[in-house]
Amino acid sequence: MSPPPEPAPVERKPFVKMQLWLLLRAMARFETTMFLRTRYSQPKMVAIGVVGSFCLAVYYPVWAYLFPQPYENLPMRLICSATFIPLALLPWWPRRLRTHLPTYWYFAMTVAMPFFVGYMTLRNATPAWLMTHLACVMLLMMLFDIASFLVVFTLGSLMAFLVFALSPEAHMHTRTMLEYVPLLLFAMVGGATCTVSSNVADQSRIDALTAASNNIAHELRTPLGSLRIAAKAVARYMPDLLRSHRLAEQGGLPVPDIRTQNLHALERSIGVMEREVTYANTIIDMLLLSARPIGEVPLVPLTARACVEQALRRFPYGSRAERERITLAPTGDFPLRGEETLVVHILFNLLRNALFHTDRAGKGQIEVFIEPDDDGNRIRVHDTGPGIPPDVLPRIFNRFYSYASDSAGTGTVTGLGIGLAFCRAAMEHMGGSIVCRTNLGEFTEFTLTFPHPDSGDRQ
């Protein structure tokens, strides 16, 4: 009798890939959280650096001589004090180092607070150090969100306990520390309960923006509609009025003298009025669409070239020179499943950003490419403007993050920071993605990748 067949080995590759993807996604989210919390704290970093480096050094004679504690360590205190000095010198950091600011911020706060203060509290266990440790915990909860606080506090405390366990003549004040633990837990739980998370703060900003958008739309739609009707009426009768004026002049009638260039300006003003009304309505549409969640917008069959041509046709250019700065590749097209309004407004955001930055730089051309491909159909928006600084590039798709590089190399916040975040959300809703490639001082390129409509896959 032949032996029974062995069971087929379980395929573990998809499971491993999924776990790796989840880990990378969690790390990316934590890194984004690190950046956001660092950005919120950045206006105070110089002050924190100055105060931290000064206080850690000056408190040595206080605890060593004025109010002597059982244990002091001047070298460790000076090393921890030195970690604050780069924060005090933040305005003089070179741009290439600013990319690492979130990492250094977390490192400095971990070393200076939960590690150093935790270690000194374990060595002394006096009321002064217990209160200092509790104050540091509350400060950390003010500076970080709950997840980041737990990471910083846990890592720093473990390091402190490890160094304490390896220190010679270290003696645990067991009773005192056991009495302190309930108070510490109460402070941490109470602080976590009362802390408003960054998500709640962002949601509040979204709600406020949505309410403001609704008010803007309500207050401006009616007068803009009236202005459009008036412009059409003027456009209808203006040629007759101008022709009557010329005939009156030729007939020698006493009419006001109007220069020829002024008459041409009157003829052009109608187009200017209609263009400005269209521009205002477009901005309102973009603001309303960007401020609201994408939701379950139905997807229908579209073609890329039709969407791009409509975006280029409807975009509210400020001048003829702006329109001539943009060129569309003559060939290329592909079908996609999406929503026309979403695709058009994504392109509006990219074109508006490209025009804004090329205007600021005083140079640059904008090219739009439509590229069908087996790996994924793409629309590329390429401009030869000033580029994006490397410390800014990883954050441009974050909601409420807005940054422009001026000629001096410093940051100036412009806009609401919702345009590119909206683009990413819209592309993900349509199963695609958006990425940016740039070289500072040379170019910026955004690539919209759409899945094949017959693949049935959502990226």
pLDDT, mean of each 10-residue run, the chain (459 residues): 53 64 64 63 83 90 91 92 91 80 88 92 92 90 82 92 89 89 88 62 61 64 71 74 76 73 69 71 65 67 90 81 87 87 87 85 86 86 86 73 46 55 84 88 90 61
Q: Count structural domains, the chain.
A: 3
State whether residue 369 is helix, strand or coil. Answer: strand
> Among residues 152, 176, 195, which one ends one of the domains?
195
State whether residue 275 is helix, strand or coil. Answer: helix
CA atoms within 13 A on the CB side of 350: 29
**Domain, as residue range, for 136:** 17-195
How far is Cα 227 from Cα 277, in angstroms, rounded to an integer? 7
Q: Quick one: pLDDT at residue 244?
A: 80
Q: How would you class 15 by CB atoms within 10 Å of its CB: exposed for 0-12, middle for 13-18, buried for 19 or more? A: exposed
266 and 311 in one domain?
no
DSSP 103-127: HHHHHHHHIIIIIHHHHHHHHH--H
Residue 161: both structure tokens together: 């306990």
400 and 345 in one domain?
yes
Q: Quick one: pLDDT at residue 414?
A: 47
Q: Calculate the alpha carbon distances from 18 to 24, 25, 31, 364, 455 in Å.
A: 10, 10, 20, 42, 21
Number of H helices, E strands in the chain: 16, 9
Q: Quick one: pLDDT at residue 447?
A: 92
Q: Which residues pair with 336 in a beta bridge?
A: 302
Residue 154: both structure tokens together: 């846990």
271 and 377 in one domain?
no
User: 366-371 and 377-383: which strand pairing?
Assistant: antiparallel
> Among residues 252, 269, 291, which one ends one of the domains?
291
How far is Cα 306 from Cα 98, in angstroms, rounded to an integer? 42
Q: For tokens 């890329």, name the residue.
A: 304
367 and 322 in one domain?
yes
341 and 254 in one domain?
no
Domain-embedded: residue 9: no
Q: Quick one: pLDDT at residue 410?
A: 39
Q: Quick one: pLDDT at residue 79?
A: 92
Task: Show the 3-state SS of 302-360.
Answer: EEHHHHHHHHHHHCCCCCHHHHHCEEECCCCCCEEEECHHHHHHHHHHHHHHHHHHHHH
342 and 264 in one domain?
no
319 and 256 in one domain?
no
